[in-house]
Amino acid sequence: MKKAKRRRPAASKRHRALRAKPAARASQTAGPGGSRATPYLIIKHAARAVDFYRNAFDAIEVVRLEGADGRIAHCEIKIGDASILLADEWEGVGATSPSALGGSPVIIHLEVNDVDAIAKRAIEAGAKVIFPVQDQFYGERAGRLQDPFGHLWLLSTKIESVPAREMHQRERSWFKENADQ
């Protein structure tokens, strides 16, 4: 007796699209200039934050739009080539700052030419050290700071290119050495 073949139900259009090759999906989401993500920070006292970012990271203010009450409704700053958007905390529109939430789960990774100098300036401007700047197994000199407004920053400078195999070996060693900390 011959076994009957089980047929899978036909996949829906949505399911087929989700299984599409990543390059095909990426082309559907990319705009004319390509895709990019830009952090949009919500900050209690955003004007003071702009001053902090200027002092700590040499930020340049590109545009600022203020509401009738003087709060920043939208602001763009540039740190090197990186754009960062920010606005004041605003009840009723879902714009809640880390201070209202008890912290931020997001870390902004900022690659700089001299991590030690930038970290020092940020700390002098009021940032708190979470992890001090030091050489990392993955080929960067890096440290983590929290700005006075609750946002977390991972500052780094590339110091060497580490091949994937060696990086995995270094990672295992690092975890063994730091397992009890």
SS3 173: helix
Q: Which helix (H) or strand (E) holds 158?
A: strand 152-158
When pLDDT is averaged across residues 44-50 and rounded to a whole number, the result is 97
Q: Which domain holds residue 71?
A: 37-177
Looking at residue 91, its pLDDT comes to 84
90 assigned to some structural domain: yes
171 assigned to some structural domain: yes
79 assigned to some structural domain: yes
**Segment 114-160, tens digit of pLDDT:** 999 999 999 999 999 999 999 999 999 999 999 999 999 999 999 99
* 21: its two tokens: 């090759």
When pLDDT is averaged across residues 100-119 and rounded to a whole number, the result is 94
- Max CA-CA distance within the chain? 82
54 assigned to some structural domain: yes
Question: Could you give the count of Cα atoms lying within 13 Å of 58 in the half-sphere of its Cβ?
Answer: 12
Number of domains, the chain: 1
pLDDT-derived band at 32 (thresholds 50, 70, 90) equals low
pLDDT at 11 over 60: no
DSSP state of 181: -
Closest of 167, 171, 140, 145 to residue 156, by C-alpha: 140
18 assigned to some structural domain: no
When pLDDT is averaged across residues 69-85 and rounded to a whole number, the result is 96
Looking at residue 140, its pLDDT comes to 96
The pTM (predicted TM-score) of the whole model is 0.78
Distance, first Cα to last Cα, the chain: 64
pLDDT at 64 over 70: yes
For residue 116, give the CATH number of its domain: 3.10.180.10
User: What proportion of the chain, given as a percentage, has pLDDT over 70?
Assistant: 81
Q: In sequence order, which residues have a C-beta less than 8 Å from that of residue 147 and are 6 or more positions away?
A: 49, 52, 53, 56, 122, 126, 127, 153
172 assigned to some structural domain: yes
pLDDT at 6 over 80: no
